[in-house]
Chains A and B, each alone.
Chain A
């Protein structure tokens, strides 16, 4: 060996020895050994495919996917003519009319009493010539029990006298 080179190597040995200065994490080599043994264990396992598919699956799946992505064709819209639509509503209209008729009749079956007739109704009735009555009719219509004895008792003498003296009363016309 070259004397000069040997001298240099000796110098280095003296200074730093054979220590590179590099170090490792604690238990590194133990872990490496364990990891490598696990991986070699697994690596020995067969990697061939154990799952299979039905025949021609990879051909048919293309079609399935493309079919799902195809734009949907508009379904034929059912056209209903105006006449048909109108005819459809006739039975409903008829039923509604019947119900309305029944309803009106139901609510108008209340009995009309004498109290429902106003004085003005009676006056206009007479004025229009409907008030003609006969004595016999009056006699049968008025029941003597309808005439209350107290009716005249409520009229004062003064009122009666004024009534008799009043020139507009028909009695004054009697000669």
Chain B
């Protein structure tokens, strides 16, 4: 396991860049994939976004200023790429991004790459009704079990605002599930 400073040094030098990048890929691709997948829902879309994310990381690594953790920086790129992706898809269909996400989730029960039961499906539907930021905070806090400080680094939002956002998201989900017929 290479320490972060060494890894960044290697990524920013042309002689060692490729080897260091392969290491980066093997270390972080799964974690970034699952983060992206929760946003875009479909595996094929998550695959596209994941690849675009790593290509962006590779091309822009020299402009990484080391003012945050490398992983936070990558996570931020992945988040932005995923949001941009679904925004574009929603625009193509001429619908609101929330409506688009709810459309995606409604087709999950026929998705071979979704193995959740009925309750888990309802949970996904509940999450899709939340505003974008609340979805991100909920997924990162609840499923990915990130600390508020880490989420703050990624979303560039204060810890206090994140806590409020999370609590509101939890209440809304609870209400949705209890009212679901």
Contacts and interface: CB of A to CB of B under 8 A. Distances in A.
B132 to A, nearest CB: 19
A118 B114 CA distance: 101
Contacts of A47: 142-143
Assign chain A's interface to a size class.
Answer: 20 to 34
A64 B21 CA distance: 14
A124 interface: no
A22 interface: no
Contact of A62 (B26, B37, B114, B115): B26
Q: For this complex, into which size category does the number of interface residues on chain B fall? A: 20 to 34
Contact of A51 (B55, B113, B123, B142): B113
B167 interface: yes
A7 to B, nearest CB: 46
B167 A38 contact: yes
A61 B120 contact: no
Contacts of A49: 34
A62 B25 contact: yes
Interface string B19-50: 00110011001100110011000010001001
B171 interface: yes
Contacts of B25: 62, 65-66
Contact of B55 (A50, A58, A62, A65): A65
Contacts of B21: 69
Contacts, number: 71
A72 interface: no
B51 interface: yes
A50 B116 contact: yes
B166 to A, nearest CB: 9
A45 interface: yes
A52 B114 contact: yes
Nearest to B59: A69
A28 interface: no
Contacts of B37: 51
A68 B55 contact: yes
25 contacts: A34-B171, A38-B170, A38-B174, A41-B170, A42-B142, A42-B173, A45-B120, A47-B142, A47-B143, A50-B116, A50-B124, A51-B38, A51-B114, A51-B116, A52-B115, A54-B43, A58-B30, A58-B33, A61-B33, A62-B22, A62-B25, A62-B26, A65-B25, A69-B21, A69-B55
Given A50-B115, A50-B116, 8 more contacts: A38-B167, A42-B170, A45-B120, A51-B115, A52-B113, A61-B47, A69-B55, A69-B58
Interface of B: 21-22, 25-26, 29-30, 33-34, 37-38, 43, 47, 50-51, 54-55, 58, 113-116, 119-121, 123-124, 142-143, 167, 170-171, 173-174
7 shortest interchain CB distances as A-B pairs: A50-B116, A50-B120, A38-B170, A52-B113, A38-B174, A65-B54, A41-B174
